Copies of this chain bind each other. A is one copy, B any other.
């Protein structure tokens, strides 16, 4: 693999410049305001350079506001922050982008037509080497497609996959693929397993992470053809000492945290992720409803609020920041469409950690 195609690893190991993160300032439900705020917050908190990609005038307007009033932000719908900022002390680069790819646009067409869109140029910043990773909260499809075309696949990887960090009782775990591919082959599942395992080993710093396949029963031979074949292939990888495969994992066990890497097809993973989000929101809604039912319940609700806050913090997507697109020659972090400044700040942290731990280089090494 030629060195220029693998800048991420090189930056970390050979060049001692600081990691710069490019952020698509125009992507997400609350863009550009929350995105710019989150990026500045990250630059401040992690002491790193950033590159804001989007409509220059809009970005500058947001920066002016931040300079004047600081960063006011919500976190978990609860805590508000007010942080004073002196922008002249930060290393902020602005890259102008004329266009924006909107949610729901046909991705393939949009990527080809809007060559000057914020997401395409943000990925380009990584491809050209002005930044080391990209954070995007807009269309997931657009972020994936522009990363795939703009950065290229890692050698040996058939298809990139979305690696998402989930809260669990023991410690956070990773689910891969969370929706990059709507149908997969057993070979792809094996690659997801290796990428996820490499991620957990390096970013979470857990040696020999356990890898399981998301299935509808514990016994081998359970499930559809895809997972049955993948099970056999993963067993072989285990016997070859390449991954710590522990067999099938059922949905109800995922949140114990005993399985570090939960491997699945992107369709199944995306459904699972979103249905968990939906059911958790319902639970919190119900808790609110019950505590709001009368005056006494309201008082008890106020007393219980700090505990609810702590739980919300433990499972809140904002804390996890974003999901990594693994398998491309560069780091792309896909943040939630609803991302607040706080979520973006954490997404930048995820990108920074991925760059600094050289996860891509380790994946490439495996396939060499």
Binds B, one of A9-17, A31-39, A89-97, A267-275: A267-275
Cross-chain contact B274 with A182 (CB below 8 angstroms): no
Closest residue to A299 on the B side, CB-wise?
B303
Residues of B within 8 A of A271 (CB): 214-216, 251, 264, 268, 271-272
Residues of B within 8 A of A278 (CB): 250-256
Cross-chain contact B283 with A280 (CB below 8 angstroms): yes
A51 to B216, alpha carbons, bound, how many Å?
31
Shortest distance between the CB of A133 and any CB in chain B (Å): 25
Interface residues of A, dominant DSSP: helix
Closest residue to A215 on the B side, CB-wise?
B271
Cross-chain contact A168 with B282 (CB below 8 angstroms): yes
A282 to B251, alpha carbons, bound, how many Å?
12
Residues of B within 8 A of A182 (CB): 216, 222-224
Q: Does A310 sit within 8 A of B, measured CB to CB?
A: yes
Cross-chain contact A252 with B274 (CB below 8 angstroms): yes
Q: Does A64 sit within 8 A of B, measured CB to CB?
A: no
Q: How many copies does the complex hold?
A: 2
Cross-chain contact B270 with A252 (CB below 8 angstroms): no
Residues of B within 8 A of A264 (CB): 271
Cross-chain contact B280 with A279 (CB below 8 angstroms): yes
A278 to B272, alpha carbons, bound, how many Å?
11
Closest residue to A223 on the B side, CB-wise?
B182
Cross-chain contact B255 with A224 (CB below 8 angstroms): no
A104 to B217, alpha carbons, bound, how many Å?
10
Shortest distance between the CB of A137 and any CB in chain B (Å): 17
Q: Does A276 sit within 8 A of B, measured CB to CB?
A: yes
Q: Could you list some 7 contacts between A and B, CB below 8 A?
A: A182-B222, A251-B271, A252-B275, A272-B272, A272-B275, A280-B280, A303-B303
Which 10 pairs across A and B sit closest by C-beta, in order of nearness?
A: A251-B274, A251-B275, A252-B278, A255-B282, A216-B270, A290-B307, A183-B224, A276-B279, A252-B274, A255-B278
